[in-house]
Structure 1
Amino acid sequence: MEPETTVNRTDTVNDIHPCYELDNTTYLFTSNPSIICVLLHVFLSALSVVTICGNLLVIISVSYFKQLHTPTNYLILSLAVVDLLVGIIVFPFSMAYTVTSCLYHEDLFCKVRISFDVTLCTASILHLCCIAIDRYYAVCQPLAYKRKVNDRVIGIMILMSWALAALIGISIIIAGFNQGKCEESCLIDALISTTLACIFCFYIPVIIMLSIYLKIFLVARRQAISIQTTKSGATVSKMERKATKTLAIVLGVFLLCWTPYFLCIFIQPLTYDVTPIAVIETLNWLTLSNSMLNPFIYAFFYSWFRLAFRMIISGKLFWGDFTNSKLL
């Protein structure tokens, strides 16, 4: 099915999208794609494959090796599932039904695409909030950590994150979510729906996460200054600090990928100007690329993830039972 959109302008083809062409007052996905269009789709397809493979490695690693069955890693596992779905579902949808094709024409597939975008984005943010809470108890209240953050609590957190993300995704579609052009008649609706979406789906959770990590940083700094009484205690403290640092980097990369997009759609309804297509498309793919980056962060900072990745890629798991392998 080719996306078709009605426009009231006489822009050149290049002003719209390298993969679309004008036909009177409508633009269609071109039947004779240019080299730029082909290269763009090859690049985005490769991005999707890398995203899927990277997150599959994380999912298999945490699921297979018993030593990785920890509350923090369960959250990382669920976050990897979110990123995997982005690679499997959102990437293909976004290539077939781009922001360009959905700006002026909202058919079923465009609504499905936006719904998945919002749901998985919200799920990512909520998982990062849960990870921040996990790190807070691990670093700031280590004696109460195992009692307050157990498998049951983590399971509830994961379930609530998915349920709330799905609810918000459906609600945003019902209310109407404007990420492009808005005429005067829809200005109030766009302001309400888009502003609320940005505030509740992004800004409030981000402020909460940054506050938690600031508290963790201050506590960790005090712990580093104080004298460790035992070697084992120092080792555990060092491991927790490293895990917190790594997951804080995951949050930082997330913010770098997503903040420009949310700033754009937050400001858009306040103006009558149309955001350039190139800007919208670039910011949209920048957000999706975040799902590809997380596995590389884990592999770079965690030696045990690198070892697990090597065992999986080499096919070693097919030649015996390595579930109890020592990775840490």
Structure 2
Amino acid sequence: VAFDCSEFGNGSCPENDKSLGIRTAMYLFISGAIFITIFGNLAMIISISYFKQLHSPTNFLILSMAITDFLLGFSIMPYSMIRSVENCWYFGILFCKIHYSFDLMLSITSIFHLCSVAIDRFYAICYPLHYSTKMTISAVKRLLLFCWSIPGTFAFGVVFSEAYADGIEGYDVLVACSSSCPVMFNKLWGTTLCMAGFFTPSSVMIGIYGKIFAVSKKHARAINTIPENQNSQMKKEKKAAKTLGIVMGFFLFCWFPCFFTILLDPYLNFSTPSVLFDALTWFGYFNSTFNPLIYGFFYPWFRKALKYILLGKIFNSHFQNANLFTQKESE
């Protein structure tokens, strides 16, 4: 089918209105963020995989979440950087769909992981006596299968079937003529994506953490009546819940504007400026950049593991049993 592309410049890239200085600054800034995203999350992956002391159900969930952030930095952010700086998509329509499918899958996978971590913390703090029987390695494997398979099936199915664009007037012309890798969600799929992939799991997480902190307050009041060893374990679990609650809060803060815009855009006749949507997408991406920094700030064991990695000590197999916790943290 031949389309009149005169309105879109015959599919060629529009002249870039950014000066060389601005483009250079953007490349340097975003490349720095990509570097932190890739190597920060790679350090987390190596730490949890290598050190036996870190092999726990909670940490396996964090490991999988770090893999999600690593993949976003490695396979999504570099191409998005070129598109954002050059105001053009150079990689063809097929790779545009693959890129967007992975992008969508990884963002939904992240929030599903955060939900799983919230469930893990819920059992650890609210039902500590049942935790070891509920959060077994096989239970974690089932959670991880769910976290990866459902978003993957949804993202690739919706994008490659182009169901998301049904009923959008002129979308075929836009795809054939535009040079920007356009993806626009209609009202049905925009609402489905945002409700099932973001707002519902967000509400579940907020509810779970609300319950966790209510129980934590109750524990704090009863702290003097609890045996010392149980008391120290509860403090450790609460600290982990607090840290992961911060990770969850930061995720919601970074991704809410983007998902909210996807939800509203079809009802506003797709009038959201592309530069705004691009900026909100990057705001979401930077969540994957900040996650290893949050871990580094709140987890002394991660800082210690990172030191061993940078010193090359992990090449000695006996370091797998190294103690990463100080006496204070163990208590």
- TM-score norm. by structure 1 comes to 0.85
Whole-Å separation in 1 of the counterparts to 2:93 and 2:11: 18
Q: Which residue of 2 aligns with 1:204?
A: 200
Whole-Å separation in 2 of the counterparts to 1:267 and 1:31: 28
How big is each residue's C-alpha offset from its partner over 1:11-50, in whole Å with a ceiling of 9 and x where there is no partner? xxxxxxxxxxxx6885347599722122212221221111
SS of corresponding position for 2:13: strand
Q: Which residue of 2 aligns with 1:137?
A: 123
Contiguous gaps of at least 5 residues in structure 2:
173-183, 326-331
Give the CA deviation at 1:125.
0.8
The question of whether the paired residues in 2 share the 8 Å contact of 1:66 and 1:324 is answered with yes
How big is each residue's C-alpha offset from its partner over 1:73-121, in whole Å with a ceiling of 9 and x where there is no partner? 000000000000001101122124459646xx98112211210111001
Whole-Å separation in 1 of the counterparts to 2:15 and 2:41: 31
Give the CA deviation at 1:272.
2.3
Q: Which residue of 2 aligns with 1:269?
A: 266
The question of whether the paired residues in 1 share the 8 Å contact of 2:185 and 2:266 is answered with no
Whole-Å separation in 2 of the counterparts to 1:201 and 1:175: 18
Residue 286 (1) aligns with residue 283 (2): yes
Whole-Å separation in 2 of the counterparts to 1:296 and 1:32: 31
Q: How does 1:1-328 map onto structure 2 within 5 Å?
A: 8=7, 26-28=12-14, 34-98=20-84, 101=88, 107-173=93-159, 174-177=161-164, 183=169, 190-226=186-222, 227-272=224-269, 274-319=271-316, 321-328=318-325
How big is each residue's C-alpha offset from its partner over 1:51-84, in whole Å with a ceiling of 9 and x where there is no partner? 0000011001001110000000000000000000
Give the CA deviation at 1:171.
2.4
Residue type matched to 1:146 in 2? S
Whole-Å separation in 2 of the counterparts to 1:32 and 1:218: 51
Give the CA deviation at 1:281.
1.5
Summarize the Cα distance change of 1:303–1:34 in structure 2 as closer, same or farther, 3 Å threshold. Answer: same
Whole-Å separation in 1 of the counterparts to 2:279 and 2:185: 26
Give the CA deviation at 1:143.
0.1
Give the CA deviation at 1:183.
4.3
Structure 1 residue ranges, 4+ long, deviating more than 6 angstroms after superposition: none
The question of whether the paired residues in 2 share the 8 Å contact of 1:129 and 1:205 is answered with yes
Contiguous gaps of at least 5 residues in structure 1:
1-5, 10-22
Whole-Å separation in 2 of the counterparts to 1:133 and 1:47: 30
Whole-Å separation in 1 of the counterparts to 2:21 and 2:198: 37
User: Identity of aligned pairs, percent?
Assistant: 38
Tell me the C-alpha RMSD between the 2 structures.
2.6
Whole-Å separation in 1 of the counterparts to 2:171 and 2:257: 26
Give the CA deviation at 1:327.
1.2
How big is each residue's C-alpha offset from its partner over 1:192-220, in whole Å with a ceiling of 9 and x where there is no partner? 11111111111111111111111111111
SS of corresponding position for 1:275: coil
The question of whether the paired residues in 1 share the 8 Å contact of 2:185 and 2:262 is answered with no
Residue type matched to 1:35 in 2? G
Summarize the Cα distance change of 1:194–1:157 in structure 2 as closer, same or farther, 3 Å threshold. Answer: same
The question of whether the paired residues in 2 share the 8 Å contact of 1:123 and 1:162 is answered with yes
